């Protein structure tokens, strides 16, 4: 390459002119230990295409944001698994009583997050540590708030989850460079990872949200010394199934509104009950429908948009 050509390339990059320059084609595959071999690096290094400097800048920004989204979704997956799927009611009570329960819960969240980041765990170890520390700090603050404030359970739950999600978003924004979407050790696309997170959210987070709304509106049958605790019973299992079905139908059906049909059995059953029990069932159905709609919108956006 001549000196004049090199000078034109440098000027084009620095001043964002439209002079075509030679750049490497962005590698969009999942990085693994095998792909870091010399032969793979050589194969990727010869993928060249002609792009203008403005296209280079736009592509770099897009890929950086997509990497941040990939890390955020992986961290969110670990959070959903540790904070909902693998947090039984007894552990909720234990963490509200002292540090042992809180540390055990945080350890489970860290373990689930480590599994979610398994594909690149060595490089993402700082993100894992930060996520664990942030989770522990937020748990401490919200549990103290529960003891000291007279806020209702719904407000504390929403505050707790908002703080967790914001903390994960900050970590992803700071440390997401070069991250590719993966489901544990398996490379996937962003849409698949978003779908898994969405399904867990509507099924498990949705059950807690429906419970807190019901307690706020209708009261709790057994408040207990640490606040009402949601038990894993047949009614909760039904909620898992109907919200999960509504979410999947909404994503796979050409008419997303058909997801409403998943709540038809509960609504029909509610009509046969007394007023208070009917209100309880209809409240759960309404909250389930709302959270399915909101999460559906977020997943569709994450799956179809190039950020």
The answer on 211 and 150 residing in a single domain is no
Overall average pLDDT of the 259-264 stretch: 95
Start-to-end CA span in the chain (Å): 35
What percent of the chain has a predicted confidence (pLDDT) above 70? 76
> Contact 128/192 with Cβ under 8 angstroms?
no
Residue 122 and residue 209 in one domain:
no
How much is the pLDDT for 206? 96
pTM of the prediction? 0.80
Q: How many CA atoms lie within 13 A of 150 on its CB side?
A: 0
Q: How confident is the model at residue 234 (pLDDT cuts 50, 70, 90)?
A: confident
Domain boundary among 156, 183, 210: 183
Q: Give the CA angle between residues 65, 68, 72 to the nearest 5°.
A: 140
Q: Residues 44-70: what's their mean pLDDT?
A: 65
Task: Name the average pLDDT for the chain.
Answer: 82
Q: What is the C-alpha separation between 155 and 147, in angstroms, rounded? A: 14
Checking if the pLDDT of 179 tops 60, the result is: yes
Flag whether 280 is in a domain: yes
Is residue 30 in some structural domain? no
Residue 100 lies in a domain: yes
**Residue 8 belongs to a domain:** no
Domain identity same for 199 and 132: no
Binned at pLDDT 50, 70 and 90, residue 226 comes out as very low
Count Cβ atoms below 10 Å from residue 282 Cβ, excluding itself: 16
- If you search the block for the tokens 């401490």, which residue do you land on? 140
Clarify whether residues 166 and 193 are in a common domain: no
| DSSP-derived 3-state class of residue 23 | strand
What is the predicted pLDDT for the residue at 177? 87
Domain limit, last residue, from 160, 183, 206:
183
Using one digit for the tens of pLDDT, what is the confidence trace for 275-294?
Answer: 999 999 999 999 999 999 99
Q: Are 287 and 213 part of one and the same domain? A: yes
Hey, which residues does 304 pair with through a beta bridge? none
Q: Evaluate if residue 105 carries a pLDDT over 50.
A: yes
* Judgement on whether residues 120 and 150 belong to the same structural domain of the protein: yes
**305 is a domain residue:** yes
The two most distant CA atoms of the chain are separated, in Å, by: 86
For residue 26, being part of any structural domain is answered with no
Domain that residue 203 falls in: 189-307
pLDDT above 80 (res 237): yes
Q: Which residues pair with 24 in a beta bridge?
A: 48
Q: Please provide the DSSP assignment of 196-224 as one string.
A: HHHHHIIIIIHHHHHHHHHHHHH--S---
Same domain, 292 and 197: yes
Residues 168 and 250 in one domain: no
Rounded to the nearest 10 degrees, how much is the dihedral formed by the CA atoms of 227, 143, 207, 231?
Answer: -40
18 is a domain residue: no
Residue 219 has a CB neighbour count (10 Å cut-off) of 10
User: Is the same domain home to 174 and 197?
Assistant: no
Domain-located, residue 25: no
Last residue of a domain, one of 134, 163, 183: 183
Q: Please list, in sequence order, all residues whose beta carbon lies within 8 angstroms of the beta carbon of residue 96, skipping any fewer than 6 positions away.
A: 143, 146, 226, 227
User: CB neighbours of 162 closer than 8 A, spacing ≥ 6?
Assistant: none
Report the pLDDT averaged over residues 61-69.
82
Between CA 270 and CA 181 the distance in angstroms is 42
pLDDT at residue 86 is higher than 80: yes
Are 172 and 263 members of one domain? no
The mean per-residue pLDDT over the stretch 258-264 comes to 95
| Domains identified in the chain, total number | 2
Mean of pLDDT values over 253-266: 94
Q: What is the mean pLDDT of residues 157-161?
A: 96
- 195 and 285 in a single domain? The answer is yes
DSSP 181: -
pLDDT surpasses 90 at 241: yes
Q: Is there a single domain that holds both residue 306 and residue 195?
A: yes
């Amino acid at each position: 390459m001549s000196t004049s050509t090199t000078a034109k390339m440098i000027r084009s990059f620095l001043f964002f002119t439209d002079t075509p320059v030679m750049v490497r084609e962005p590698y969009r595959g999942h990085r693994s230990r095998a792909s870091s071999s010399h032969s793979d690096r050589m194969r990727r290094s010869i993928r060249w295409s002609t792009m203008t400097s403005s296209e280079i800048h736009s592509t770099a920004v897009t890929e950086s944001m997509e990497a941040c989204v990939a890390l955020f979704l992986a961290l969110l997956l670990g959070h959903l698994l540790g904070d909902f799927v693998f947090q039984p009611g007894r552990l909720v009570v234990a963490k509200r009583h002292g540090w042992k329960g809180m540390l055990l819960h945080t350890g489970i969240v860290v373990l689930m997050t480590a599994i979610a980041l398994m594909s690149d765990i060595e490089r993402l170890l700082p993100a894992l540590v930060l996520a664990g520390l942030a989770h522990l700090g937020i748990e401490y603050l919200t549990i103290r708030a529960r003891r000291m404030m007279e806020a209702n359970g719904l407000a504390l739950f929403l505050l707790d989850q908002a703080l967790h999600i914001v903390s994960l978003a900050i970590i992803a924004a700071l440390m997401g460079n070069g991250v590719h979407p993966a489901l544990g050790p398996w490379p996937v696309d962003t849409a698949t990872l978003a779908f898994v997170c969405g399904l867990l959210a509507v099924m498990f987070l949705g059950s807690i949200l429906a419970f807190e709304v019901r307690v706020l509106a209708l009261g709790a049958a057994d408040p207990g010394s640490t606040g009402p605790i949601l038990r894993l019973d047949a009614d909760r299992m039904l909620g898992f199934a109907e919200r999960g079905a509504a979410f999947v139908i909404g994503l796979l059906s050409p008419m997303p509104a058909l997801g409403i049909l998943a709540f038809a059995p509960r609504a029909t059953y509610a009509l046969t009950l007394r007023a208070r029990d009917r209100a309880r069932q209809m409240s759960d159905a309404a909250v389930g429908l709302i959270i399915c709609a909101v999460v559906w919108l977020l997943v569709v956006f994450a799956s179809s948009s190039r950020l």
